[in-house]
């Protein structure tokens, strides 16, 4: 390539991607918070409902930052070197909150009484974790393929029901699902069963039954949605809001709430972050019931704030995990138990999987 060619090419690329008029945004008079949230459509909704109004009311700029889906390693490096490439980790799972606390990576703040009291008891007591949404993990299926409605998790194992199966990779969810399918009631009974070695073996024996019928073991929530949407799979267990988004786009899918579990997502502040007081303002701002409801309506997730429920868009209520009819069919995820057994369950599962 000679120089003339290069100039032509540069001109062409300039036409496609115009050079930005403003390089970088002039920072506002106030300060800036870098929020590492879940990205994509999630960020768009948060911008609209939380970030922009927050900037308008406080003068603090909010810039969404990309983070890996699993940010534990990044949080550890940041905290240990006191170099903060973001100020708060948004959309962290309750189970991750437990890990951050155990590793001493999260900063604790005190929420005002009125906000704290408005959070469900099962999700508000992990130190350093501040929930702002409730998510459900449940069985999802395509009625056109299964030809009938699924009633319980054991139906996934029932091969008289047609449909291509897929499950999430990893120990926890498979062990939970296998024991449900084997007749153990969801909730404390499963944790009890896992107190003994026989209980673990029972779970893997049940998984042996379904292994040959699993088309693929998906690993990320968007991947499960992609597989459902491409009609590669007909039955799986995934996050209810993923199914709800697909249903809103016209996919023929149903959610079986029965025997599902719910868990929370929320904020974790990296320990030692000097901007902790600004982050606290953002967290309190986002836990306002009306804003919580607006987020729930957009993302079809449950609100952490209990009093938000009455403000949620009635059209999406059917898919909101905290809607009483849905909620009562589910159990909370035991994050304490699974936190302690994360390594064990994953190693056993991986061994079993590659066998």
How far is the CA of 315 from the CAs of 132, 254, 297, in angstroms?
21, 16, 8
19 binds another protein (CB under 8 A): yes
Q: Please pick, from the candidates 119, 175, 246, 283, the single residue that binds another protein as defined by CB under 8 A.
A: 246
CA pair distance 16, 10, nearest whole angstrom: 10
Q: Please pick, from the candidates 54, 86, 141, 338, the single residue that binds another protein as defined by CB under 8 A.
A: 86
User: Are the CB atoms for 106 and 129 separated by under 8 Å?
Assistant: yes
249 binds another protein (CB under 8 A): yes
CA pair distance 201, 68, nearest whole angstrom: 34
Cβ proximity to another protein, 311 vs 352, nearer residue = 352
Cβ proximity to another protein, 72 vs 191, nearer residue = 72
The dihedrals phi and psi of 156, each to the nearest 5 degrees, come to -65, -35
Q: Please pick, from the candidates 47, 53, 58, 63, the single residue that binds another protein as defined by CB under 8 A.
A: 63
Q: Please pick, from the candidates 26, 29, 40, 110, the single residue that binds another protein as defined by CB under 8 A.
A: 40
CB of 135 to another protein, least distance (A): 13
| Binding to another protein in span 204-243, by CB under 8 A | 215-217, 219, 221-223, 225-226, 229-232, 242
| Binding to another protein in span 135-164, by CB under 8 A | 164
29 binds another protein (CB under 8 A): no
Cβ proximity to another protein, 131 vs 171, nearer residue = 171
**Which residues lie closer than 8 Å to 249 by C-beta, 6 or more apart?**
229
Other beta carbons within 10 Å of 102: 12
CB of 43 to another protein, least distance (A): 7
Cβ proximity to another protein, 37 vs 118, nearer residue = 37
Q: If binding means CB under 8 A, how many residues of this protein chain bind another protein? A: 77
Q: What is the 3-state secondary structure (H, E, C) of 144-207?
A: HHHCCCCCCCHHHHCCCCCCCEEEECCHHHHHHHHHHHCCCCCCHHHHHHCCCHHHHHHHHHHH
CB of 198 to another protein, least distance (A): 20
83 binds another protein (CB under 8 A): yes
How far is the CA of 44 from the CAs of 50, 87, 346, in angstroms?
10, 19, 33
CA pair distance 289, 291, nearest whole angstrom: 6
Q: Please pick, from the candidates 18, 160, 274, 325, the single residue that binds another protein as defined by CB under 8 A.
A: 18
Cβ proximity to another protein, 99 vs 202, nearer residue = 99
The owner of tokens 């088309």 is 215
How far is the CA of 154 from the CAs of 165, 230, 330, in angstroms?
13, 25, 15
What is the contact mask toward another protein in residues 103 to 122, using x (rule: CB under 8 A)? x-------------------
CB of 17 to another protein, least distance (A): 5
Output the six-digit token pair for 302.
């449950």
> Which stretch, 5-13, 255-263, 265-273, 288-296, contacts another protein (CB under 8 A)?
5-13
Q: Please pick, from the candidates 76, 152, 254, 306, the single residue that binds another protein as defined by CB under 8 A.
A: 76
Report which of 217, 269, 215, 260 is spatially closest to residue 241, judged by C-alpha positions. Answer: 260
| Binding to another protein in span 165-184, by CB under 8 A | 169
| Binding to another protein in span 305-344, by CB under 8 A | 342-343
Cβ proximity to another protein, 74 vs 122, nearer residue = 74
| Binding to another protein in span 251-310, by CB under 8 A | none
How far is the CA of 283 from the CAs of 35, 170, 278, 287, 332, in angstroms?
11, 31, 9, 6, 23
Cβ proximity to another protein, 328 vs 355, nearer residue = 355
CA pair distance 293, 302, nearest whole angstrom: 8
The owner of tokens 């025997």 is 259
């Amino acid at each position: 390539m000679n120089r003339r060619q290069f100039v032509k090419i540069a001109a062409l690329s300039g036409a496609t991607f115009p050079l930005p008029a403003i390089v970088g945004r002039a920072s506002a008079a106030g300060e800036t918070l870098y929020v590492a949230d879940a990205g994509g459509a999630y960020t768009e909704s948060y911008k609209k409902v939380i970030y922009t109004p927050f900037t308008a009311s406080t003068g603090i700029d909010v810039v969404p930052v990309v983070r890996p889906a699993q940010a534990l390693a990044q949080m550890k490096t940041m905290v240990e070197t006191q170099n903060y490439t973001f100020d708060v980790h948004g959309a962290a799972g309750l189970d991750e909150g437990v890990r951050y606390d155990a590793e001493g990576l999260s900063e604790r703040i005190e929420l005002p009484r009125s906000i704290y009291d408005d959070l469900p008891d099962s999700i508000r007591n992990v130190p350093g974790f501040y929930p702002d949404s409730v998510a459900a993990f449940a069985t999802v299926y395509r009625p056109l393929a299964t030809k009938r409605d699924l009633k319980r998790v054991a139906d996934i194992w029932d091969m008289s029901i047609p449909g291509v199966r897929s499950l999430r990779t990893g120990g926890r969810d498979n062990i939970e699902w296998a024991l449900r399918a084997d007749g153990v009631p969801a909730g404390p009974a499963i944790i009890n069963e896992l107190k003994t070695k026989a209980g673990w073996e029972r779970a893997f024996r049940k998984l042996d039954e379904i292994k040959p019928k699993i088309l693929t073991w998906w690993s990320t929530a968007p991947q499960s949605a992609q597989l459902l949407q491409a009609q590669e799979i007909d039955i799986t267990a995934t996050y209810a809001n993923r199914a709800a988004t697909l249903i809103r786009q016209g996919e023929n899918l149903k959610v079986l709430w029965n025997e599902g579990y719910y868990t929370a997502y929320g904020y974790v502040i990296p320990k030692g972050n000097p901007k902790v007081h600004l982050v606290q303002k953002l967290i309190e701002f986002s836990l306002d019931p009306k804003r919580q409801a607006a987020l729930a309506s957009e993302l079809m997730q449950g609100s952490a704030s209990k009093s938000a429920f009455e403000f949620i868009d009635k059209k999406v209520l059917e898919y909101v995990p905290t809607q009483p009819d849905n909620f009562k069919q589910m159990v909370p995820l035991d994050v304490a138990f699974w936190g302690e057994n994360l390594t064990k369950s994953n190693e056993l599962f991986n061994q079993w999987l590659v066998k």
